[in-house]
Amino acid sequence: MKIICNGEEREERSGCTVRELIASLGLKSAAVVIECDSVILEPADYDRQLHDGARLELIHFVGGG
């Protein structure tokens, strides 16, 4: 299925979860903020399966301050 992440199309397996997407991007789930279809997700939602055509905006935070 196709999803859009930060404006770019990605091909992901059908049934892919948010958590799997984060892992495939090489990111830590606790360090990301994700908006899916205009809704900010809580980490408890990360095992939700993405649907075909889902639009995600993802911000990955790095340490230091």
Partner 1 sequence: MEYVVGIVSGNFAGKQVKKSGVVDGKGIRDRLRKSVVGVMGLGGLGSAVAVALARAGVGRLLLADFDVVESANLQRQQYFFDQIGLPKTTALEANLVRIDPDLAVELIQERLNQERIVRLSGRVDVLVECFDQAEMKALGLRVAMKDLAGIAYVGASGVAGCDENNLIRTRKLCKGIYLVGDGKAAVRPEMKLMAPRVGIAAHHQANQVIRLLLGKE
**Binding status of residue 42 toward partner 1 by CB under 8 A:** yes
Non-local (6+) Cβ contacts of 55 within 8 A are 3, 4, 36, 37, 38
Q: CB 46 → partner 1: shortest distance, Å?
A: 12
**Binding status of residue 4 toward partner 1 by CB under 8 A:** no
Q: Tokens in use for 20?
A: 């799997």
Q: What is the CA radius of gyration of the chain?
A: 11
Using the minimum distance from each CB to partner 1, give the nearer residue, 1 or 46: 46
Report the interface residues with partner 1, using CB under 8 A: 28, 30-33, 35, 40, 42, 59-65
